[in-house]
């Protein structure tokens, strides 16, 4: 029998030719896989197994083939048949794995896409997937509502398919498939397209981040105050908005796209470039997957809610949303039966989910912090290569991860999470605030350690410099004095080097007398002039324990400087903020 490795190594057409001795399969009238299966089933019984090779005529699905069986003849074993069918079911194009580098459904500058899984047949892989889903993956999905959820673990045990696995599970869990009569195959295709739209080369804005945000959104939707008032449409919009909120993210922010004249900046007229691109890409996936055809009645409202939710993730609008949220809570005027209030809470939910990794347990939160800073530093490297001004938070040579994270926790995450906890007041919000405070202390301690190390280094350098100055100013007095100028250098150090001191008065007469002395005059008889000791450098600013983040650093994390975390440019946001204040 043909070994499994040989079957997998040969193209489908050559294997079929080996079995049947027929012309190229591409010349047959019927080329669908079901016809191939019926053809093989008929052929394996029609070909004799003994005697000399004879011609066999086979008719299947309207295709008549006269073939000479390959000697020695045999029936296809049950072990070889599924392997052979896997080859038949593979893509019949001439180069099935070849894709032009510039093709793709998305519009960002990146040409590299997520690596496609090397699967040949759903019939074969389904059993493997079932075993996994009933094993490790199922254990994780059973606890998908737990705040200690680790998206990296799910990504590992699913073989890189955490996003579609989680989202299809949630659609089942909420009953959306039955309520909207959705085809599960199309739903799987939808989330597979979304997964492909995320760039696996991004350290932070990739499909794992989308999985993490979607799970956080699911946790928020489980809160009774929110869930009991939501409609199925709002739940579906929330899940799709969460999973697509950074779809096709290029790994850089909007000012970078504008500075480099990227086509996306021109397409969206420099206004919320990335957010607009994210939600429009999401709508494109709905159309391409065929899911949009099944929800024609609610499609306009669904797209409207998805776009509004994703546009709210623009972090430069942070203060706008916090102020409105705080006002509603203070006046106790939030009514979840009001559709506008519900949608606003969903916007806040997605904003909290988007920056929720600082509220995860320390081991998970630290990993996300390292990844987001690495993406910032990559943008700084790009800016330096292009001779552009390097964004302060993106310069790996002038800032550090603890400094970035401490400021981000203090000025961005904490104000929003305080109001979110004020709204929920549940075990979930208590757990989030506990992790947030603990993680902030960890980063502050790391920042303080960095500052202390820099202080010790600067003090050591200063002391070393003083020692070098003293050594250079005092010559070895045991050396014989052969010239009068030598003795004068011993008495009066180099003024040009140390600077003339006001306390050192040297009269012209003294200089004249000294210049007329002869060698017979003992050196010890000359009045010794002692220079005043140098005052040590003031290190009070170095030794005093500084604050981890000074209030003067807050401008780095205000609305005009937060474009590194999102997309809105500084100049545009100033205008928008002025107009919103006026309104």
Choose among 411, 450, 365: nearest CA to 565. Answer: 411
The number of angstroms, rounded, from the C-alpha of 572 to the middle of its chain's C-alpha atoms is 25
Quote the crossing angle between the two packed helices 427-473 and 401-408, to the nearest 10°: 140
First to last CA, the chain: 79
In this structure, the number of other CB atoms found within 10 A of the CB of residue 573 comes to 22
205 is a catalytic site residue = yes
Q: How many angstroms separate the most distant Cα atoms in the chain?
A: 133
What's the helix, strand, coil split of the chain in %, to 5?
60, 0, 35
Q: Are 409 and 440 in contact (CB under 8 A)?
A: yes
Extract the annotated binding site for AMP: 205-209, 246, 354, 405
Burial 11-34 (b: 16+ CB within 10 A, else e): ebbebbbebbbbeebeebeeeeee
What span, in angstroms and rounded, lies between the C-alpha atoms of 213 and 268? Answer: 25
Using alpha carbons only, give the angle 151, 153, 155 rounded to the nearest 5 degrees: 70
What span, in angstroms and rounded, lies between the C-alpha atoms of 74 and 44? Answer: 8
Q: What are phi and psi of 360, to 5 degrees?
A: -85, 170
What span, in angstroms and rounded, lies between the C-alpha atoms of 393 and 412? Answer: 14
Q: Are 276 and 247 in contact (CB under 8 A)?
A: no
Q: What are phi and psi of 39, to 5 degrees?
A: -65, -45
Polymer length in residues for the chain = 583
For residue 231, give Cα distances in angstroms to 302, 365, 420: 12, 32, 22
Extract the annotated binding site: 205-209, 245-246, 354, 405
Q: What are phi and psi of 64, to 5 degrees?
A: -105, 125
* 332 phi-psi bin (left φ>0, alpha ψ -120 to 50, beta other): left
Extract the annotated binding site for Zn(2+): 209, 245-246, 354
What span, in angstroms and rounded, lies between the C-alpha atoms of 158 and 165? Answer: 8
Out of 169, 205, 218, 278, the active site residue is 205
Active site amino acids:
205
């Amino acid at each position: 029998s043909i070994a499994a490795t040989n079957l997998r190594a040969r193209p489908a057409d050559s294997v079929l030719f080996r079995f049947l001795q027929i012309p190229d399969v591409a010349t047959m009238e019927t080329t669908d896989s079901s016809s191939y299966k019926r053809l093989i089933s008929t052929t394996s019984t029609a070909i004799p197994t003994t005697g000399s090779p004879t011609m066999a005529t086979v008719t299947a699905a309207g295709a008549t083939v006269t073939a000479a069986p390959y000697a020695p003849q045999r029936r296809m074993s049950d072990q070889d048949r599924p392997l052979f069918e896997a080859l038949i079911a593979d893509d019949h194009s001439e180069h099935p794995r070849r894709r032009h580098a510039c093709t793709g459904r998305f519009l960002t500058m990146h040409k590299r896409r997520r690596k496609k899984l090397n699967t040949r047949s759903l019939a074969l892989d389904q059993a493997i997937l079932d075993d996994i889903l009933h094993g490790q993956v199922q254990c994780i999905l059973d606890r998908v509502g737990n705040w200690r959820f680790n998206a990296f673990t799910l990504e590992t045990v699913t073989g890189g398919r955490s996003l579609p696995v989680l989202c299809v599970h949630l659609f089942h869990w909420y009953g959306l498939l039955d309520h909207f009569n959705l085809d599960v195959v199309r739903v799987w295709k939808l989330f597979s397209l979304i997964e492909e739209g995320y760039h696996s080369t991004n350290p932070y804005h990739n499909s794992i981040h989308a999985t993490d945000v979607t799970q956080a959104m699911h946790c928020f939707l489980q809160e009774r105050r929110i869930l009991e008032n939501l409609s199925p449409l709002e739940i579906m919009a929330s899940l799709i908005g969460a999973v697509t909120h950074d779809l096709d993210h290029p790994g850089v922010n909007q000012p970078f796209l504008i500075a480099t004249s990227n086509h996306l900046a021109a397409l969206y007229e420099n206004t919320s470039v990335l957010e607009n691109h994210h939600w429009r890409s999401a709508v494109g996936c709905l159309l391409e997957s065929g899911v949009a055809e099944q929800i024609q009645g609610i499609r306009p409202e669904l797209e409207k809610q998805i776009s509004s939710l994703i546009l709210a993730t623009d972090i430069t609008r942070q203060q706008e949303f916090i102020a409105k949220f705080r006002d509603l809570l203070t006046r106790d005027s939030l009514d979840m039966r009001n559709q506008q209030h519900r949608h606003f809470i969903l916007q806040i939910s997605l904003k909290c989910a988007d920056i929720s990794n600082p509220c995860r347990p320390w081991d998970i939160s630290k990993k996300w912090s390292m990844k987001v800073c690495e993406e910032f530093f990559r943008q700084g490297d790009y800016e330096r290569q292009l001779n552009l001004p390097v964004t302060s938070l993106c310069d790996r040579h002038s800032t550090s991860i603890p400094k970035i994270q401490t400021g981000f926790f203090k000025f961005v995450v904490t104000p929003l999470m305080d109001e979110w906890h004020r709204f929920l007041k549940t075990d979930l919000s208590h757990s989030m605030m506990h992790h947030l405070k603990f993680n902030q202390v960890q980063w502050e301690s790391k920042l303080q350690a960095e500052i202390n190390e820099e202080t010790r280094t600067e003090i050591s350098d200063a002391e070393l410099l003083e020692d070098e100055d003293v050594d250079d100013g005092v010559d070895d007095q045991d050396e014989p004095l052969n010239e009068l100028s030598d003795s004068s250098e011993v008495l009066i150090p180099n003024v040009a080097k140390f600077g003339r001191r006001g306390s050192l008065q040297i009269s012209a007469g003294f200089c004249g007398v000294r210049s007329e002395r002869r060698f017979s005059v003992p050196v010890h008889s000359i009045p010794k002039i002692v220079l005043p000791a140098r005052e040590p450098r003031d290190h009070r600013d170095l030794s005093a324990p500084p604050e981890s983040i000074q209030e003067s650093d807050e401008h780095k994390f205000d609305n005009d400087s937060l474009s590194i975390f999102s997309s809105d440019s500084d100049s545009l946001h100033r205008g928008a903020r002025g107009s919103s204040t006026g309104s």
